[in-house]
A = this chain, B = another copy of it.
Amino acid sequence: MISRIPITDISPAVFFGGEFVAVKAIAGETISVGATITIEGHETLTAEVCLYNSKNKMVDCQQLSESWSGTDRFEGTVTVPSNGDFYFVVKASSTSQYRTVNGESDKYPVRADRDRALVGSWYEFFPRSEGAVKKSDGSIVSGTFATATKRLPGVAAMGFDVLYLPPVHPIGYSHRKGKNNSLDATEHDCGVPWAIGNADGGHDAINPELGTMKDFEDFVKAAGKQGLEIAMDLALQTSPDHPWVQTNPEWFNKRADGTIAYAENPPKKYQDIYPINFDDDYEGIRNEVLRIIRFWVSKGVKIFRVDNPHTKPVHFWQDLLAIIYDETPEVIFLAEAFTRPAMMHSLGKAGFHQSYTYFTWRTSKFELTEYGREVSQTTSAFFRPNFWVNTPDINPFHLQSGNPAMFALRAVLASTLTPSWGMYAGYELYEHRAFKEGGEEYMDSEKYEIKVRDWEGAAKKGLTLAPFVAQLNSIRKAHPALQRLRNLVFHDTDSDAIIAYSKREGKDLVLVVVNLDPSFAQGTTVHWNMAALGIATQDFKVKDLLDGASMTWNPHTFVSLNPTRPVGKVAHIVQVTI
């Protein structure tokens, strides 16, 4: 039955698998709530949204007001006070001279995860490349956790929060891939880290070439001292040499001849990878994955970057993540699901804390605006975006020219549009060569070989984006507005080459203007939506957080940005200082 005052069409609400699942939040985050509330006759009403914790104690209650008179649509906000599980209820009340009547909605769950679920700067490196040495005979000595530890201060200096490592487990030998994905590996080829498992162990073991379990634990601790949290790769697949192949053959698909089927995405064949079959012994494989996660959690890992979760059953993730949350709610899962929107959204609803996104391919003002609105508004209840500028799998076309201004502007966009962004090592060196024209694989991809990079040499020559990245991450840390997702607002500009947006959190108001053209100076008038900015005056003072310049802007500010060197300015990131 509907309540005395009907309250319907509640937003945000995430219906999934026969129930409302939790709206995503972090402590301190403000959630916009909407409801359609109708009262008979010409009665007026008051409405509020009240937030309760899991012990049914009210922790916040805020008034809702009709956004546009006559629509019966009421809107307001509620702020989540701390981590944990909450629910909100919309209530309405109407008082006339004869009576007070009330209405109440159902309960809608909200879950506040720890901040890192929403906010973080991610860096990815292959530990075997860090500290690797090229010998005079051309052969390469692999880096180890010990040598990679020396790179931690450099990563920390760029201001990153999370260091994500591709799989660190033993790598299979059967059908091992060679350089540039070749089928004929030599004995010197190090193998693809995602081909997990050999006689040295599987998902709970450390690749001996990187060191011992102790070395890994020391590395995690050393990273922590630098303010870096380690994100581990969780790739639920095996090489043909993985121990499971012997101990649990029922976890794999068999061909008619009884042999185990390797992964295929016709016409592509992945002879070095066996996919898992989750259906024949669901509980067995789930319990084993739980054991593995618990094991690494005990080693200090609290973030997992899940490889291709969209190739595994969604209900498995919902089941698994719920169990882990109950045990260790601080553990965060990032979905690496570059697939269709519906599946990406399902994974978010199933419990993934955040996800890789299409940002990596969104380049025009129109695309960025549309996608920015989608992730900050339309899907923010169940899908937290992590904007990566590149990955070992994706050397996007727009970077393949190698123009440093493009690398800079993409970093600005990723680091300011949403609160989580990521960069894969080599980006700061403007690495851009493609394996072949028309493709987005890196030439001499690090997936197949060890990379020896000259960080110090590049720094000395100034041929690195690292200082700019450090500046971006420093600005992010100093500005709460950049640590929020739902507060993104776009503003009109007269040029498709220049995008403008703002973010506000409390008194912190940050405006960003980016020249999307890496090759030419562009100028245009930016039409700031003053109501959205919450600025009552005409002129307002701003300070550019990149170059320290102080300016006075107004609702129609002409902005010009020249990305060409030596000036090389791709963006304004300004703080309003009225």
* Given A1-B17, A253-B98; A346-B315 close (CB under 8 Å): no
* Any B CB within 8 A of the CB of A325: no
A1 in complex: contacting residue of B2, B40, B319, B343, CB < 8 Å:
B319
Asked if B40 and A312 make an inter-chain contact with CB atoms under 8 angstroms apart, the answer reads: yes
- Return chain B residues, CB-CB under 8 Å to A328: none
Q: Closest approach, in angstroms, between the C-beta of A102 and any C-beta of chain B? A: 10
**Nearest CB in chain B to that of A313: its residue:** B40
Contact with B along A303-342 (1 / 0, CB 8 A): 0000000111111001100000000000000000000111
Asked if B314 and A38 make an inter-chain contact with CB atoms under 8 angstroms apart, the answer reads: yes
Contact with B along A255-298 (1 / 0, CB 8 A): 10000010001000000000101011000000000000000000
* Given A38-B343, A98-B254, A101-B313; A15-B4 close (CB under 8 Å): no
Q: Closest approach, in angstroms, between the C-beta of A265 and any C-beta of chain B? A: 6
Asked if A40 and B310 make an inter-chain contact with CB atoms under 8 angstroms apart, the answer reads: yes
- Return chain B residues, CB-CB under 8 Å to A265: 42
Asked if B2 and A314 make an inter-chain contact with CB atoms under 8 angstroms apart, the answer reads: yes
Q: Closest approach, in angstroms, between the C-beta of A363 and any C-beta of chain B? A: 21
Q: Closest approach, in angstroms, between the C-beta of A249 and any C-beta of chain B? A: 13
A314 in complex: contacting residue of B40, B42, B98, B315, CB < 8 Å:
B40
A349 in complex: contacting residue of B8, B15, B42, B315, CB < 8 Å:
B8
- Return chain B residues, CB-CB under 8 Å to A312: 40-41
- Return chain B residues, CB-CB under 8 Å to A2: 16-17, 314-315, 318, 346, 349-350
- Return chain B residues, CB-CB under 8 Å to A16: 2, 6, 8
- Return chain B residues, CB-CB under 8 Å to A71: 340, 342
Interface hub of A18, A37, A275 (most chain B Cβ within 10 A): A18
Number of this chain's copies in the complex: 2
A342 in complex: contacting residue of B3, B36, B280, B311, CB < 8 Å:
B36
Q: Closest approach, in angstroms, between the C-beta of A286 and any C-beta of chain B? A: 13
Q: Closest approach, in angstroms, between the C-beta of A130 and any C-beta of chain B? A: 33
Q: Closest approach, in angstroms, between the C-beta of A314 and any C-beta of chain B? A: 5
* Any B CB within 8 A of the CB of A73: yes
- Return chain B residues, CB-CB under 8 Å to A349: 2, 8
**Nearest CB in chain B to that of A311: its residue:** B41
**Nearest CB in chain B to that of A308: its residue:** B41
Q: Which of A4-28 contact B (CB under 8 A)?
A: 4, 6, 8, 15-18
Query: In the complex, A70 Cα to B341 Cα: how many Å?
Result: 9
- Return chain B residues, CB-CB under 8 Å to A72: 340-343
- Return chain B residues, CB-CB under 8 Å to A135: none
Contact with B along A541-573 (1 / 0, CB 8 A): 000000000000000000000000000000000
* Any B CB within 8 A of the CB of A188: no
Q: Which of A44-63 contact B (CB under 8 A)?
A: none
- Return chain B residues, CB-CB under 8 Å to A18: 1, 106
Query: In the complex, A101 Cα to B8 Cα: how many Å?
Result: 35
A279 in complex: contacting residue of B36, B70, B99, B341, CB < 8 Å:
B99
Q: Which of A225-267 contact B (CB under 8 A)?
A: 253-255, 261, 265
- Return chain B residues, CB-CB under 8 Å to A311: 40-42
Interface hub of A40, A318, A319 (most chain B Cβ within 10 A): A40
Q: Closest approach, in angstroms, between the C-beta of A381 and any C-beta of chain B? A: 13
Q: Closest approach, in angstroms, between the C-beta of A16 and any C-beta of chain B? A: 6
Query: In the complex, A293 Cα to B505 Cα: how many Å?
Result: 57
- Return chain B residues, CB-CB under 8 Å to A255: 97
Q: Closest approach, in angstroms, between the C-beta of A350 and any C-beta of chain B? A: 6
Asked if B277 and A99 make an inter-chain contact with CB atoms under 8 angstroms apart, the answer reads: yes
Q: Which of A97-115 contact B (CB under 8 A)?
A: 97-99, 101, 106
Q: Closest approach, in angstroms, between the C-beta of A106 and any C-beta of chain B? A: 5
Query: In the complex, A106 Cα to B502 Cα: how many Å?
Result: 41
A70 in complex: contacting residue of B3, B97, B340, CB < 8 Å:
B340
- Return chain B residues, CB-CB under 8 Å to A280: 99
Sample (24) of A-B pairs whose CB atoms are under 8 Å apart: A1-B17, A2-B16, A2-B17, A2-B314, A2-B349, A6-B16, A6-B17, A6-B315, A8-B15, A8-B16, A8-B17, A8-B346, A15-B15, A18-B106, A37-B342, A38-B340, A38-B342, A40-B312, A40-B313, A41-B275, A42-B265, A42-B311, A71-B342, A101-B313
Contact surface of A with B, Cβ cutoff 8 Å: 1-4, 6, 8, 15-18, 36-38, 40-42, 70-73, 97-99, 101, 106, 253-255, 261, 265, 275, 277, 279-280, 310-315, 318-319, 340-343, 346, 349-350
* Inter-chain pairs besides A1-B315, A99-B279, 12 sampled, C-beta below 8 Å: A2-B17, A2-B315, A18-B106, A38-B310, A38-B314, A38-B342, A40-B311, A40-B314, A41-B275, A71-B342, A97-B253, A98-B277
